[in-house]
Amino acid sequence: MPEGKDNSFQTPPEGAGSGEEIRIGVYTCQCGGNISDTFSCDRVAETLENLPGVVVSRTNMAMCSDIGQKMIENDIKENGVNRVVVGACAPALHEETFRNTVARAGLNPYLFYHVGLREQNSWVHKNNPEGAGKKAIQLMKSGIAKVRSLKPLESIKLHAEKHTLVIGGGIAGLQSALNIARKGIRVTLIEKRPFLGGRMAQLEDTFPDNEDARTGLHTIIDQVLAHPLITVHTQAQLAAFSGYVGAYQATLEIKPRGVNGPIDLQRAASLCPIEIEDEFNYGLTKRKAIYMRYPDSRPSKPAIDWENCTRCGECAKVFENISLEEKPETIKIEVGAVVLATGFDLYEPSKGEYGYGEIPEVITLAQLIRLLPLQINGQPLTYNNREIKNIAFIHCVGSRQLDGINEPQPDGNVNDYCSRVCCTAILHVANDLKQKYPGLNIFDLYEDIRTYGHGHEEFYIKAMSEGIRFLRFKGEEPPTIQKAPSNDSIPVLANIKDTLTWDEDLEIPVDLVVLATGMMPAPIQDLQQFLKTPAGSDRFMAEVHPKLRPVETAVPGIVLSGTAQGPMNIQETSAAAAAAAAKVSILLGQGSVELDPFVAMVDESRCNGTGACVEVCTYEDAIALETRLIDGKEVTKAVVTPANCSGCGICVSVCPTRAIDVQGWTLDQYYGMLDAIVSELPCEEVPA
């Protein structure tokens, strides 16, 4: 391992600009073999130590390790290193790690530059070691050229309002709100429906612990409603949004509940002429336009379904606590952060998919879960006025779809992801059915069984021991469902090519087919436009990094909670909600936030106020023109609001006088990096 050279202090290299001697420490990481297996990191380090201004050039098996970081700290303290270049994995992984290392040693953290030698070089040039070695030197040279002209920067410090907006009143939003409030931060929680609880309220019990779902849910809801730092608005939506992390301005539109006091709901409902499918029971039952979601709903007060109410006034004539004339209310709040807990939708099979919508005896797993509580204890399982003796479950309906076989979504893409929770959910329900109805014949038609969670495999083992029959199909050859002939005693025929019996074609007569539909993101395009938060290829909200920043979006101060970012079970959702709350609590707990200083800066001596920068800027209030008096004359200058600037640099490209640059990424720094890349190597050959 090269130990580098400790050059004596000498004349600052050209470009230092401040009289300070530039002493550069260069560190080439072997990345546990990810880099060094392709080219020799030792030879790269030996070559770089000959460049002007480089006083130390080293390599290590893992620069991000405690040993590697300590090496950098010691060189800053003992060898006078005042600029640092690290060549390692992607900057997204460890740029912050090395900035913190530099800061601990007493050096400004922005006098460091990270070169991506793994993703940009070793991983893509494994078959060309010699070329990869030369490319590594060129990339590191460009980093060295950049740090020569770096200047100390200070992070942007902003006041942070200790107030959080939580969007969504399901288990994720409730858990996040409660955890944040327990840290002494005010919370406003909004839910677009009249009742809290989300989809968890539609479950009877949870797996793997088999606890009563609504008992646990009600405990959390009651704690949220009673907490002095939490304000809850149901039938509320975000109507406008602006500002920046620490000081976001949110406008909320809140619809009236329509019921302002106690009423006899049964009588009020009898007066209502409207009858619609009850979404709580997935259309298995009907409800009125004045309703409770279920008898013990929270809030425990009926509400008017404004979308379906005709405002006939029959209920209001009898009950003075019912008002049909109230208008929506608009309120404005300032918050430091936002938690997106918008939940998920269930995939809706297309008409005819596995017979859905055409054969009455084809239902979804969600419908079956709501069907079971509607059964009469001690009586046989029935559906559609028929006793159910044979059931077929089908996995992966709306998940793990294949192009050319499954119908695409409106964006042209199929749901090729796994919804994760469906397999265990089927087994959980199947075992419950076997316990309640021992004589039931259950057939499980699956592509793969993915019982990935702790204790989930036990459901599969129990199902096998209970005699549930498993049949496996290939994704490109899914089962087919057809209505049985009219003279048949059983209504539905399920056909499958079973790979467990060497592709034997089987026909299974059943009374009920249950489709395990996957999760899809909730339709929140309006929110995405307000918040400018991106979605992933699966259309769920995208986090910045799945390991290092698992609940953060690309927009500072906006975090994700639960199934807004992908399929999860209740345990995972609660854990993700706690993570989101922890991130918000850390962000707002001190009453201020710090942002990286890589934002646009204006040289007023060059700015002539053309406004070209303002015209091209896509970020609200990031840059504007201001008129001021200078030497008795009114002049117009561009002014940057750092908190709103993303540092994209588009304004730099249109400024006719080169009055704008991005701090830490100036044009002169780019020019220096380009010159270094195209210059000759410091030695003729760099062996791999």
Dihedral sign for Cα 648, 654, 658, 659, please.
negative
DSSP bridge pairs for 217? none
Residues 255-310 have pLDDT tens digits of 999 999 999 999 999 999 999 999 999 999 999 999 999 999 999 999 999 999 99
DSSP for 448-465?
A: -----STTTHHHHHHHHH
pLDDT tens per residue, range 141-156: 999 999 999 999 999 9
Check if the beta carbon of residue 300 is closer than 8 Å to that of residue 351.
Answer: no
Condensed to tens digits (0 to 9), the pLDDT of residues 223-260 reads: 999 999 999 999 999 999 999 999 999 999 999 999 99
H or E stretch including 96?
helix 91-104
- Which band of pLDDT confidence, cut at 50, 70 and 90, is reported for residue 680? confident
What is d(CA 87, CA 36) in angstroms, rounded to the nearest whole number? 12
Q: Read off the pLDDT band of 13 (50, 70, 90).
A: very low
Would you place residue 632 in the very low, low, confident or very high pLDDT band (cuts 50, 70, 90)? confident
| Mean pLDDT within 172-192 | 98
- Average confidence (pLDDT) over 365-390: 96
Confidence band for 657, pLDDT divided at 50, 70 and 90 = very high
What is the chain's percent helix, strand, coil content, to nearest 5? 30, 25, 45
Check residues 661 and 680 and name the one with the higher pLDDT.
Answer: 661
Domains of the chain by start residue, with CATH: 24-155+671-678 (3.40.50), 163-255+328-343+522-592 (3.50.50.60), 265-318 (no CATH), 345-520 (3.50.50.60), 600-662 (3.30.70.20)
In the predicted structure, residue 431 carries a pLDDT above the cut 80: yes
The mean pLDDT value for 369-382 works out to 95
Query: CA dihedral in degrees (646, 649, 650, 656; nearest 10)?
Result: 140
* Predicted pLDDT of residue 545: 84
* pLDDT confidence of residue 18: 54
What local confidence, expressed as pLDDT, does residue 92 receive? 86
- pLDDT band of residue 513 (cuts 50, 70, 90) is very high
Q: Which residues contact 136 (CB under 8 A, 6 or more apart)?
A: 28, 35, 39, 41, 44, 87, 117, 121, 122
Q: What is the pLDDT of residues 302-339, one digit of tens each?
A: 999 999 999 999 999 999 999 999 999 999 999 999 99
Percent of the chain with pLDDT over 70: 96
pLDDT for residue 633: 87
Q: For residue range 30-39, what is the model confidence (pLDDT) as tens digits?
A: 999 999 999 9
Average pLDDT across the chain, whole number? 93
Beta bridge partner(s), residue 362: 513
Tens digits of residue pLDDT in 573-592: 999 999 999 999 999 998 99
Residue 1 above 50 pLDDT? no
